[in-house]
A and B are shown apart, each in its own frame.
Chain A
């Protein structure tokens, strides 16, 4: 019941895994919240790649619908993320996440 893919399915999984890994590393090493959000987008999009590939492989359009859903959610998240970054900048005068640490312990 799997549909034919021009490229073997394993390659998509590998690509998505690498994208996901880059995203995780990005969250860990970057200090600008905007870049961190972009890294998170990368993680989401890695999942999207998987959804599309599997949707084609299984001939199930649920995966494609899921990818659209994710894109929508990611857009909303980016909007809220930007708003929060601006709000943090207003109160802390910095957006370096290493400087924003009044809550601890």
Chain B
């Protein structure tokens, strides 16, 4: 059995990833043989089909926990949930590309999105250090390219900044992995839970460097500096994708380490710096939003704070906390993608609808779009009656239970600050200002952007009424 790494079971485990890989090759092939004929819609359609296949295959694994590839990849409820989040982010971003993509480069763009998602899904189920590194780099390498794939100085600059900073963080992560390997003699996460490691300095230093890498990918303060610049410079769909998929995939890795790969009794000490930076992020991220005039930058800072909220849910290491974190993450996925979809819908042919001035008077020009944007902003701010509010309530309840009430307090403080920042967007849309001339002419809105906005709205509303807090996400390793 162990001599047959390509057994059916292993293939089944990575079936969603294989589906994405096949779809990306098909896109490239179609781009090669039928260049002029394959429009933006053709490439995106293939990509969406692949995504749908991956989503269905991932759903079929729900609840079947087994370890494939010598324990390098684990399936189960947890993996499925995160794979589905990645699939949602991928589908949403592809739909945005159908509106904004450069027809000349669409084949490569879509293929890179799909490959990046392969990496993200790999991270969702990664159970040894090698798989984590492979998934992380696959995702990151694809994103470096995607950031720079527009003829715009800002895009190129964002690609360069992302490449250098992210690689540096990867260096820390990798060095940490090497130390962890040295401490345990194994690359399996499960072996990091052995009790004798608690007294090994290599284990502590390795964990620290490893967590630096993860904190960077989650853009926690002070590892956040790249996020606003890269978010602003990257094309809108890539920003949308990064804001959800990168965070979700990294959170999956983090949760797996926190819940399954620490010696008993060490979690509160090993993770303390992470909780501290999560607390700082909730304040600094929300404060950073206040002075922004660009929607993408604003959402970058917002994302910094939102990850802090999710980590607050996990802080106690309780099973309930993980379920609530997943609930909030899924809700966040929909609200954030929704905001980006609105930005896409008001984008001009040559200018992305990201500057806040282009939202002036939107309520009069596109009342429904403005209403949807308002709803997403309220949800991100955590105002009732949205899923964001209920998610925060749940997080607070669990944080108070598990002895991390101070994180809950910072969450409340951050929320209060953020209201003002999110209200800025709403105010820009509803105030009768003489800002209309900033937007020369509105294009007819592409149907896919409309559909994305609608689906995200439905998603947030559904999350409000249906408590998606999956109960069978544990165990994370076998």
Contact = CB atoms under 8 A, between A and B. Distances in A.
Contacts of B297: 105
Interface string A72-98: 010011001101110110111000010
Interface of B: 129-130, 133-134, 137, 141, 144-145, 148, 151-154, 156-161, 163-164, 167-168, 170-172, 174-175, 177-179, 181-182, 185-187, 228-229, 232-233, 291-292, 297
B168 A103 contact: no
Nearest to A90: B156
B167 A51 contact: no
A64 B229 CA distance: 37
Given A16-B178, A58-B185, A60-B186, A40 B157 contact: no
Contacts of A81: 144, 163, 167
Nearest to B294: A105
Nearest to A79: B141
Of B145, B148, B167, B170, chain A has the most CB atoms within 10 Å of the CB of: B167
Contact of A103 (B163, B179, B187, B233): B233
Interface string A45-80: 011101101110110101101100110010011001
B133 A69 contact: yes
A40 B168 contact: yes
A51 B181 contact: yes
B229 A103 contact: yes
A33 B160 contact: yes
A83 B144 CA distance: 10
B266 to A, nearest CB: 21
A80 B141 contact: yes
Nearest to B137: A73
A40 B137 CA distance: 14
Given A84-B148, A103-B154, A69 B175 contact: no
A15 to B, nearest CB: 12
Contacts, number: 140
10 contacts: A20-B171, A27-B168, A43-B172, A47-B175, A62-B187, A63-B181, A69-B134, A76-B137, A88-B156, A103-B229
B178 A43 contact: no
A84 B182 CA distance: 35
Contacts of A84: 144-145, 148, 156, 159-160, 163
A57 B129 CA distance: 18
B171 A43 contact: yes
A36 B152 CA distance: 23
Contacts of B185: 1, 54, 57-58, 60
B160 A91 contact: no
Given A16-B178, A50-B178, A102 B133 contact: no
Contact of A85 (B133, B151, B160, B178): B160
A91 B156 CA distance: 8
B329 to A, nearest CB: 27
A76 B179 CA distance: 24
A77 B157 contact: no
Contact of B174 (A43, A55, A57, A101): A43
Interface string A4-21: 000000000100100010
A41 to B, nearest CB: 9
B181 A33 contact: no
B341 to A, nearest CB: 23
A91 B167 contact: no
B130 A37 contact: no
A48 to B, nearest CB: 8
Given A43-B168, A50-B175, 14 more contacts: A1-B185, A33-B164, A47-B175, A47-B177, A48-B178, A50-B179, A54-B181, A63-B181, A73-B133, A77-B137, A77-B167, A87-B159, A97-B160, A100-B161
Contacts of A70: 133, 174
Nearest to B134: A69
Given A69-B134, A87-B159, A37 B182 contact: no
B72 to A, nearest CB: 10
A58 B130 CA distance: 17
B2 to A, nearest CB: 15
Contacts of A46: 175
A54 B179 CA distance: 9
Contacts of B233: 103
Nearest to B173: A47
Nearest to A67: B178
B154 A80 contact: no
B181 A62 contact: yes
B453 to A, nearest CB: 27
A33 B157 CA distance: 12
Ranked nearest first, the 10 interchain pairs of A and B with the lowest CB-CB distance are A43-B171, A50-B178, A58-B185, A54-B182, A103-B229, A47-B174, A47-B178, A91-B153, A40-B167, A73-B137
Nearest to B70: A62
